[in-house]
């Protein structure tokens, strides 16, 4: 059990903050060295940790059918996730056992994976099925030359991967149900920014910046520095209420519905944010490429219980485009500007205060687990 507040409790907490002019607070202040956002040594240790905890790779809904696959780089390692004929999702190192070329690219659906270099062929279960000119490899044992698997687990509608010996349960500790079986992926994209992955992650973990950074986008619809903030395991949950939640005041508590009244953001340790918005859910995975460059992998899903008609699709697209073209752009600008500013040597550290409880929790867990990685 996560111990997270239920919807009714969240609504009452929000009303309490609205009436008192308060917000959820942490119990300590954290000083994070700015060198941790640009150090190559720190970056390599973080990559090692990302391989040694279960991290989200994609929504299970991105692999709806037998043969559906997603191939991308995670923690600097090429991986291939595929749903087998038995319905099980497996993840392999996307590396041919002959000469090491990737056997798949992007997303799609296949009956087998054929290496484009020499046509060695692998089944959906990773087994080596065919070697071109096998007479040239008389001592090759097909049983020991399948694609190399990594640990994969389908949980809460997400596919988690653990590449190396784990040092922690990571995001799996106390994980609640996050995605429902009826949610469908209707968009996915990737792009990169010149900013450390942690700077980007921090933008989604507090509402202290809403009025200043999102003055013409989110702030007219929401509140500044009014959030419900909870932690569970290594994860956190930050709830951003909309002003329209006031409409629930006159509704009996047992008839209130929170959907459409808040944005509910789960920070899944260490590098994924799952945001439940009015008409869609957005999953953002931050893949570190260098100490100062991060690749976004974003999946956009329908909201739970969504209709599947044309109007609903239009509502989802409008909702998603607003987030993508406004708030996300502003957050990206902030992270990139901060990264560029590190060269000015004005700060030896960043100070995260009690308004930034989820960020403090994140850094404390990150430091603790990095100590477990040689």
Domain final position from 165, 183, 199: 165
Phi, psi of 126 (to 5 degrees): 85, -5
Structural domain ending residue among the three candidates 141, 165, 189? 165
Residue 308, pLDDT score: 58
- Nearest-Å Rg of the Cα atoms of the chain is 22
Does 181 share its domain with 321? yes
| Chain centroid to CA 75 | 13
Token pair belonging to 312 = 């609903």
Task: Report H helices in the chain.
Answer: 7-20, 40-50, 197-202, 210-213, 310-322, 328-341, 357-370
> What is the number of structural domains in the chain?
2
2 in any annotated domain: no
Query: What are the Cα distances from residue 130, in Å, to 78, 135, 285?
Result: 22, 12, 35
E-state strands within the chain: 30-33, 55-59, 68-74, 77-83, 89-93, 106-109, 113-114, 121-122, 128-130, 149-155, 158-162, 185-193, 228-232, 235-241, 262-268, 272-276, 280-290, 293-302, 349-352
User: Which residue range forms the structural domain that includes residue 188?
Assistant: 7-52+172-370
The SS3 assignment for 75 reads coil
Q: How far apart are CA 26 and CA 114, in angstroms?
A: 52
Q: Are residues 330 and 184 in the same domain?
A: yes
- DSSP 8-state class, residue 147: P
* 54 contacts 172 by C-beta, under 8 angstroms: yes
- Distance, in Å, from the CA atom of 302 to the CA atom of 322, rounded to the nearest integer, reads 15
- Sign, CA dihedral 2-83-166-299, equals negative
Residue from 139, 216, 210, 197 nearest 339 by CA: 197
21 and 75 part of one domain:
no
Same domain for 69 and 153:
yes
| Domain end call among 133, 165, 197 | 165
Q: Pull the structure tokens for residue 201.
A: 């992650």
- Is the domain of 152 the same as that of 297? no
**Residue 138 resides in a domain:** yes
Contacts of residue 244, defined as CB under 8 A and 6 or more positions apart, other chains included, come to 221, 260, 261
Task: Report which DSSP code applies to 303.
Answer: P
Q: Is residue 7 within 8 Å of 239, Cβ to Cβ? A: no
Q: 319: which 2 tokens?
A: 């909702």
Query: In terms of domains, do 78 and 30 share one?
Result: no
User: Can you tell me the distance from the alpha carbon of 239 to that of 260, in angstroms, rounded to the nearest whole number?
Assistant: 12
153 and 74 assigned to the same domain: yes
Q: At residue 304, what are phi and psi to the nearest 5 degrees?
A: -60, 135
For 99, phi then psi, to 5°, come to: -130, 5
Per residue of the chain (374 residues), what is the pLDDT tens digit? 458 999 999 999 999 999 999 999 999 999 999 999 999 999 999 999 999 999 999 999 999 999 999 999 999 999 999 999 999 999 999 999 999 999 999 999 999 999 999 999 999 999 999 999 999 999 999 999 999 999 999 999 999 999 999 999 999 999 999 999 999 999 999 999 999 999 999 999 999 999 999 999 999 999 999 999 999 999 999 999 999 999 999 999 999 999 999 999 999 999 999 999 988 999 999 999 999 999 999 999 999 987 654 445 565 555 656 555 577 999 999 999 999 999 999 999 999 999 999 999 999 999 999 999 98
Domain assignment present for residue 1? The answer is no
- 74: Cβ contacts below 8 Å, ≥ 6 apart: 50, 55, 57, 161, 163, 287
Say which CATH number the domain at 216 has.
3.90.380.10
pTM of the model: 0.94
CATH number at residue 126: 2.102.10.10
Q: What is the pLDDT of residue 311?
A: 45
């Amino acid at each position: 059990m996560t111990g997270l507040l239920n919807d009714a409790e969240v609504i009452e907490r929000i009303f309490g903050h609205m009436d008192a002019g308060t917000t959820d607070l942490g119990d300590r202040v954290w000083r994070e060295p700015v060198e941790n956002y640009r150090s190559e040594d720190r970056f390599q240790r973080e990559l090692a940790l990302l391989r040694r905890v279960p991290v989200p790779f994609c929504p299970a809904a991105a692999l709806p059918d037998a043969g559906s696959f997603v191939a991308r780089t995670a923690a600097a390692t090429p991986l291939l996730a595929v749903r087998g004929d038995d319905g099980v999702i497996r993840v392999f190192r996307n590396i041919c056992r002959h000469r090491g070329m990737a056997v798949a690219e992007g997303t799609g659906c296949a009956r087998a994976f054929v290496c484009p270099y020499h046509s060695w062929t692998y089944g959906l279960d990773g087994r080596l099925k065919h070697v071109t000119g096998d007479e040239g490899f008389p001592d090759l044992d097909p049983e020991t030359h399948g694609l190399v698997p990594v640990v994969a687990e389908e949980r809460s509608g997400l596919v988690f991967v653990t590449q190396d010996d784990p040092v922690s349960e990571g995001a799996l500790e106390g994980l609640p149900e996050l995605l429902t079986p009826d949610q469908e992926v209707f968009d996915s994209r990737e792009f990169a920014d010149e900013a450390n992955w942690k700077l980007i992650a921090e933008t989604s973990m507090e509402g202290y910046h809403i009025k200043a950074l999102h003055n013409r986008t989110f702030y007219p619809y929401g509140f500044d520095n009014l959030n419900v903030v909870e932690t569970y395991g290594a994860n956190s949950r930050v709830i951003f209420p909309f002003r329209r939640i006031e409409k629930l005041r006159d509704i009996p508590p047992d008839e209130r519905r929170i959907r459409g009244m808040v944005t509910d953001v789960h920070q899944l340790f260490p590098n994924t944010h799952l945001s439940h918005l009015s008409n869609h859910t957005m999953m953002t995975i931050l893949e570190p490429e260098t100490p100062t460059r991060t690749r976004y992998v974003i999946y956009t899903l329908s909201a739970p219980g969504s209709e599947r008609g044309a109007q609903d699709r239009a509502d989802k697209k409008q909702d998603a485009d607003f987030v993508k073209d406004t708030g996300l752009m502003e957050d990206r600008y902030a992270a990139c500007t901060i990264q560029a500013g590190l060269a000015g040597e004005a700060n030896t550290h960043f100070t995260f205060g009690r308004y930034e409880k989820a960020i403090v929790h994140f850094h404390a867990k990150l430091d603790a687990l990095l100590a477990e990685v040689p």
